[in-house]
Amino acid sequence: MTRHKHADTIIAWANGENIEYRWSDFDSWKQTKYPEWFDSTQYRIQEEIYHSGQVFLNNEDQPYILTQTNPGKVCLVCLKTGNRLREPIDVARSRHVTQDELKQMFKERYEVRLSNWETVKENLS
């Protein structure tokens, strides 16, 4: 017996993950509560979405805030120094930054993780 094409995604959905689908590579991803698991449809676990104002810590516990610089452009700005992690990047929607878009801002030597304001306040003092 062969494994179902969408087996991993089906298991994730059964475990409570949100699922997105699209009909082709040219369509945008849409959320579905009840996937039908067609062979011709692509499915994935819904990506985490970030927005301006969320704070992150890098691997050195430096606090960064996700900031919109222009329409369709965002960057991470260090709350201690005011320096950007790198130049702003283009995003499809600045209020809904995907994990893949966020990763474009990382320098190879950095990792950032979502944090909260209480943790950041401790790091700023």
Exposed, middle or buried by CB within 10 Å (0-12, 13-18, 19+), for 85? middle
User: Does pLDDT of 111 surpass 80?
Assistant: no
pLDDT bucket at 110, cuts 50 / 70 / 90? low
How high is the pLDDT of residue 123?
A: 63
| Distance (Å) of CA 61 to CA 65, 83, 114, 119 | 13, 15, 11, 10
Residue 110 CB neighbours (<10 A): 16
Decide which of 93 and 121 is more confident. Answer: 93
**Segment 34-61, tens digit of pLDDT:** 999 999 999 999 888 888 888 888 878 8
How high is the pLDDT of residue 108? 55
125, pLDDT greater than 80:
no
Domain regions of the chain by residue span: 7-45, 49-124
Instruction: State mean pLDDT over 62-86.
Output: 90
Residue 58 neighbours by CB under 8 Å, 6+ apart: 64, 85, 110, 111, 112
Residue 81 has pLDDT above 70, yes or no: yes
